Amino acid sequence: MRTLLVVLADDLAPVAGTLARYTAEGVRTVVCSENEDVRDQARELGVTHVETADPYDLIERYEPQVVVADHRGPLRQTKLAVYRTGIPQKLYLTASEGATVISVGAFAVQKQHDHYFRDLDRTNAPLPETDLFAGL
């Protein structure tokens, strides 16, 4: 099962369209945040799993192929979990511009595209990408 784990601090906006799109496509979506408003917003988007657990535990539990981390969130902890577990094939960081541009038109919450910087890719998918699961 395709699984996307998103680790956020206090703002769902950078990934809202992406979460709505992949949830609608049947991807198992997991949002990890200590912020109650973020968790409530994720539930409203239909996110299948909303958690407050440590990213390491979530990676081991859900075995996501793709992890997205907000640069304002627990980035160091998330990156360590990704590299130590070796489970996710790809790690993206939220960005205002980036080589990975996800079109969220029909699922737009605030904007038509979400942008990401690809930090890790074990699939060697070519850039630019339009799908976080490219190469999987």
Q: Is 96's pLDDT higher than 80?
A: no
The 10s digit of each residue's pLDDT in 32-58 is: 999 999 999 999 999 989 999 999 999
Mean pLDDT of 13-21: 91
Give the span between the Cα atoms of 22 and 52, in whole angstroms: 21
Q: The tokens of 32 are what?
A: 């990890």
Which of 46, 48, 36 is closest to 16 using CA atoms? 46
> Is pLDDT larger for residue 105 or for residue 77?
77
Structure tokens at 92: 């993206």
Sorted by where each starts, the structural domains of the chain and their CATH numbers stand as 3-121 (3.40.50.10320)
Distance of alpha carbon 101 from alpha carbon 109, whole angstroms: 15
- The structure tokens 């409530």 sit at 40
pTM above 0.85, yes or no: yes
Distance of CA 136 to the CA centre of its chain: 15
- Give the residue from 54, 17, 57, 49 showing the smallest Cα distance to 31: 49
